[in-house]
Amino acid sequence: MTVEFAPVVQPDESAHAAALRRHATLVKPVASLGRLEDLGAWIAACQGQSPPRPFARPRVVVFAADHGVAALGVSAYPQEVTARRVTALLTGGGVTNALTQVAGAGLRVIDVGVDADTPVAGFKVRRGSGRIDIEDALTDEEVEAALQAGIQVADAEVDGGADLLVAGDLGVGASTPSATLVAALTGTEPVAVVGRGSGIDDAAWMRKAAAIRDALRRARPVLGDPLALLRTVGGADLAAITGFLAQAAVRRTPVLLDGLTVGAAALVAEELAPGARSWWVAAHRSPEPAYELVLKHLALQPILDLGIRLGEGAGAATALPLLTMATRLLTDVATRDW
């Protein structure tokens, strides 16, 4: 199984420096807007120009899939909820619908592994995944198909004019394989990555800890092979998001990372496309302990810390207006003559 990405070109350092110099000339005290100035300079670097262009077509793409490990009772909700949440997003009644409307972003939902029939299954790899504590999540062919789905979606969005992308996930039980991947790629013990996910009680937390322990034991023989890790302890959504994030970097398009599942995929994407992380910014700090490891490993500083643990791109959509503001500061604020 081989999936290769083109080399990742780094964002433009000269545009980054020019944006910071421009901030020093605006009608405000120097360096008085803190992180907003850094974000504006990052956007300028991604676009290769200062001042940067205001975003014309930001897009949120949510990849949905079910996970076999959910059968162990590691989530607060039954697996059928995945399909119901997909329906809510498709009919305009989901959380992310409300947030993207405010943020001025488009929303696309893609079923890559939901264990039900949906109207957005054009890239569907399989119905659900294997139970990662005792069997592989996917086959080699399914990993490649899911990666290619993410790559094709990223290409289609960029070719369609997207100038900022958000990856989101949707699936009951997704935090269990996500935490397992993070533990595997950061060399962390299972108990240190087990979070409350969908709001589980202590009994479910213990079941989840045992599942991650057993899955990590299965993952250790393939630690040096990112694609084999996706096959062994990942899922269709994790593989698709991996391809999406890596290809966005190849296409020189900035990405707002959402929560744990997207973060776990980002770790794999950085392995497959070194340097891709320069094209990403962490939208928010997830309450999941494994996400702290993602931030540290990728050297990313989150924009917001609001306790959001939903997924679906919700945290990233919430942070998106701040990126818009960071851009408009460089384009709209007058320069000073003093």
Return d(Cα 167, Cα 12) in angstroms, integer: 23
Picking from 99, 88, 93, 86, the residue whose alpha carbon sits closest to that of residue 58 is 99
Tokens 């294997």 locate to: 130
Helix (H, G, I), strand (E, B) or coil at 60: strand
Per the annotation, the verdict on 292 as an active-site residue is: no
Residues 6+ apart with CB under 8 A from 28: 333, 336
- Catalytic position from the list 144, 157, 292, 312: 312
By the 10 Å C-beta count (0-12 exposed, 13-18 middle, 19+ buried), 264 is classed as: buried
Return d(Cα 222, Cα 30) in angstroms, integer: 50
Return d(Cα 44, Cα 255) in angstroms, integer: 14
The alpha carbon of 181 is separated from its chain's Cα centroid by a whole number of angstroms, namely: 14
Picking from 239, 65, 230, the residue whose alpha carbon sits closest to that of residue 152 is 239
| Strand ordering across the sheet containing 106-113 | 106-113, 58-65, 164-170, 255-257, 280-282
Query: In the 8-state DSSP scheme, what is residue 26?
Result: B
Tokens 């202590």 locate to: 202
* β pairing state of 255-257 and 164-170: parallel
Query: In the 8-state DSSP scheme, what is residue 335?
Result: B
Return d(Cα 172, Cα 98) in angstroms, integer: 21
Return d(Cα 250, Cα 191) in angstroms, integer: 35
Residues labelled as active-site residues: 312
